[in-house]
Amino acid sequence: MLIKTEGGYDMDTAYIPPRKRNRLAFLKRDWQLYLMLVLPVAMTIIFKYAAYPGLRLAFMDFKPALGFESSKWVGMEIFQKIIKDRDFLRAIKNSLVFNFLDLAIGLPVPIILAILLNELRFKKFKRVSQTILYLPHFLSWVIVASIAYSLFKPDSGLVNVVMKSAGWIEKGIPFLTEKWHWAATYLLVGVWQGMGWGSILYLAAITGISAELYEAATVDGANRLRRIWHVTLPGIRPTIVTLLIINLGRILGSNFERLDSFANVNVKDFQYQLAIYIYDKGLASGNFSRATAVGLFQSLVGFLLVITADRVAKRLGSDGLI
Amino acid sequence: MGKKVGSLKAPHLSDFVIAFVILLLCLTCLVPFFHLLAKSLSSNTAVLSKTVFLWPKGANLNAYITIFRDGQLTHSMVYSLYATALFTAIGMVVTVLAAYPLSVKRLKGRGVISLLIMIPLYFAAGLIPEYLLIQSLGLYNSMWVLVLPLAFSPYNMLIMKSFFSSTIPPSLEEAAYLDGANHFQILGRIILPLSKPILATISLFYAVGRWNAYADAKYYISKKALQPIQYLLYNMILNATASEAVSLSESTATQSTPEVFQAAAVMFATLPILCIYPFVQKYFVQGVMIGAVKG
């Protein structure tokens, strides 16, 4: 490859000593590639890196009226205050608990769905149902929450109306307006929204399993359940482990839109998670320093978790995530 | 011979059980829409008496006529479509311009530039620093705040890069180079025509992402005319629901924002997704699978 390139440039670079010529040859050949990269790199710097200096707010007593220049540096004082802030502790606890539950329910469901879809023998039905099952992933949280309210309102929600008219319940169940019911509904709607999309990865992994393994199992007299247990599940184990690790890396993250769309005053106890805390303290109440500090904490923990997760995944023989 | 033992047999009872479970799951995805559609086409009295299930009662188009007369939602729809188209176009250009060079293995400094682009994905500055940045860039209360800051997604770039480096043989590009094509020509005449599935997938990801998001509008846009449709919907429906929960009486709230109207608004805002979804559906499975190789 390189020899041919050099040949092409011999004429105009003949006077440059060989070592230097080699060093510049790549520029001569690839300058257009670097030119292409200017725009993406510029956008990354302008819209991402330029925000990092703002992190110094976490170590200042920032007053918007004074600006950056006149606000006082306070060292770690903001962090010391946060550790004692009961709202913060509640937000951390809620984030951890809900992310853990999301993972505990949200991980197995797409796996089961992928196995069911793979076992489905009616090809046309399979294709149509996949199209339908992926759809919720493409709906915004505003739409999902609006749908949830129209289904689950205590008085007029479809589910409650049907259950009442069937005589199963006398009073509407407050699916979204009582915190324990809300927690269950919130988690289940999340699973519903993500299950079809999540199953694609597992289906892809299942397609990669050698057909001979299934034949061998069938010849050995294994029934369907045994084939799933002894061939399919071991075949997708690397995928499961990788996704588990990725999700563990996100255990402190939270989706603002999902939480915000499902917000109402009756469920604040559980709905108050880190993303809500940061918005609430920062943009809504103007306590910029505190919100920045919590954001920084969240980013740092998330970063460390992702790095660790990547190391673990690589050690377990998967490709790694980064 | 023994190759298709399983699939040649007549359907077993378990096949029907599996099909039934899948059918139920599909219904959970479809029924809510039919219910909303039915509600949006029904009369106010039928909805208030809670007798509308999956078929409209007292069918009429009043709610949709109100949407068009009122104009707020239609304006917001046009505006959001415009912002989404712009966002997707810019996002695609920038993503291609990053993914192609970074997929060329011999490029010097490839690792460093990749790292530079990926770091913000794993270490975000957070809400407040970003808010201050938006203000100092003069993007606060501007349509461009919906278009520019998120237009380049490193994650989408990674997916596209994996596609380029896994499906396009380097020898093809090498041959074009030796024939005297420059990199822009190689990209435009060889790489892109071979990459239609991934281009469709990533465009869909960008468009859907922009269409569905409202958090940035909530943070950075206070002018009503500049708010995208999802945020308008949020204010119309979810904020109404929240205040309703305080008063705990549904009848008072439904007078101010009738359920029929809300159902129609939801259907109206979901329409663009439902329209493009079937056409791009066949592409994106491939895109997700490539993303999984290295995400």
pLDDT of residue A102: 93
From chain B, the residues in CB contact with A215 under 8 A are 2-3, 5
Mean pLDDT, range A47-68, rounded to an integer = 88
**Per the CB < 8 Å rule, is B237 touching A51?**
no
As a whole number, mean pLDDT of residues A193-207 equals: 89
**CB spacing of A40 vs B97 below 8 angstroms:** yes
For all residues of chain B together, what is the average pLDDT? 85
pLDDT of residue B53: 85
pLDDT category at B212 given cuts 50, 70, 90 is very high
Tell me the shortest Cα–Cα distance from B69 to chain A, in angstroms. Answer: 22
Which of the pair, B39 or B88, is modelled with greater confidence? B88
Q: What pLDDT score was predicted for residue B47?
A: 83
Quick check: B32 pLDDT over 70?
Answer: yes
Cβ burial B46-84 (10 Å sphere, 16+ → b, else e): bbbebebbeebbeeeebbbeebeeeeebeebbebbeebb
CA dihedral A131, A132, A138, A139 (to 10 degrees): 170
Q: Which amino acid is at A65?
A: A
DSSP A179-204: HHHHHHHHHHHHHHHHHHHHHHHHHH
For residue B277 the two structure tokens come to 């979804």
The C-alpha atoms of residue B265 and residue B229 are separated, in whole angstroms, by: 10
DSSP H helical ranges for chain A: 2-13, 18-47, 67-70, 77-83, 86-106, 108-119, 123-134, 141-152, 158-165, 179-207, 211-219, 224-227, 233-249, 256-261, 268-271, 274-279, 288-315
Residue B290 has pLDDT above 70, yes or no: no
| pLDDT at site A156 | 82
Mean pLDDT of A236-258: 85
pTM metric for this prediction: 0.87
Structure letter (DSSP) for residue B12 = P
**Do A51 and B281 count as a contact with CB atoms less than 8 A apart?**
no
- Which of B101, B137, B293 has its CB closest to that of A37? B101
Q: What letter does residue B259 receive in the DSSP assignment?
A: H
- The verdict on B42 touching A (C-beta cutoff 8 Å) is no
- Higher-confidence residue of A208 and B292: namely A208
Q: For residue B129, what pLDDT is reported?
A: 95
Pick the residue of A28, A138, A181 with the most B CBs within 10 A to test the interface with B by mutation: A138
Alpha-carbon gap, residue B232 to B214, rounded angstroms: 9
Q: Please report the pLDDT score of residue A26 as a whole number.
A: 79
Picking from A160, A165, A162, A141, the residue whose alpha carbon sits closest to that of residue A262 is A141
| Residue A138 pLDDT exceeds 80 | yes
Distance from C-alpha of A6 to C-alpha of B138, rounded to nearest angstrom: 48
The per-residue pLDDT for B99 is 95
- Determine the residue type at A1: M
| Integer Cα distance of B193 and A179 in angstroms | 53
Q: Is the ipTM of this complex over 0.90?
A: no
CB A308 within 8 A of CB A320: no
A20 pLDDT more than 70: no
pLDDT, mean of residues B83-87: 97
In angstroms, rounded to a whole number, what is the distance separating the alpha carbons of residues A198 and B103? 27
Residue B28 pLDDT class (50, 70, 90 cuts): very high
Chain B 46-75, residues with CB within 8 Å of chain A CB atoms? 47, 50, 53
As a whole number of angstroms, the distance between CA B195 and CA B181 comes to: 19
Domain B63-293, classified CATH 1.10.3720.10, yes or no: yes
Q: Does B208 touch chain A (CB under 8 A)?
A: yes
H or E stretch at A73: strand A72-73
The per-residue pLDDT for B283 is 77
Q: What is the pLDDT of residue A53?
A: 94
What pLDDT is recorded for position B236? Answer: 86
Q: Map out the domains of chain A with their CATH numbers.
A: 2-47 (no CATH), 72-315 (1.10.3720.10)
> What pLDDT does A185 receive?
95
What percentage of chain B has pLDDT greater than the value 90?
49
CB B198 within 8 Å of CB B158 = no
End-to-end CA distance of chain A: 29
pLDDT at A67: 76
Of all residues in chain A, the one with the smallest CA distance to B52 is A158
**Where does the pLDDT of residue B146 fall: very low under 50, low under 70, confident under 90, or very high at 90 and above?**
very high
Q: Is A51 on the interface with B (CB under 8 A)?
A: yes
pLDDT of residue A34: 95
Mean pLDDT over B245-265 rounds to 57
Does any CB of chain A come closer than 8 Å to the CB of residue B173?
A: no
Which stretch of A98-112, A269-283, B160-174 has the lowest confidence by average pLDDT? B160-174
Rounded-to-integer distance, Cα B155 and Cα B118, Å: 8
DSSP state of A57: G
Tell me if A205 sits within 8 A of A235, measured CB to CB.
yes
Q: Please write the tens of the pLDDT for every residue from A261-319.
A: 999 888 999 999 999 999 999 999 989 999 999 999 999 998 998 888 878 877 776 65
Q: How far apart (Å, rounded) are the C-alpha atoms in residues A133 and A129?
A: 6
pLDDT at A155: 83
The tens digit of pLDDT for each residue in A219-230 reads: 988 888 899 999
Angle between helices B127-136 and A288-315 (to 10 degrees): 120
Interface check for B273 against chain A (CB to CB < 8 A): the answer is yes
Task: Tell me which residue in A36, A140, A196 faces B100 most closely, judged by beta carbons.
Answer: A36
Mean pLDDT along residues B102-113:
91
The domain ranges of chain B are 1-60, 63-293
Chain B environment of A246 (Cβ under 8 Å)? 295
Place of tokens 């001979």: A212
Tokens of B275: 């329209």
Helix/strand/coil percentages in chain B, nearest 5:
75, 0, 25
pLDDT tier, A28 (very low <50, low <70, confident <90, very high otherwise): confident
The Cα–Cα gap between B255 and A203 comes to 47
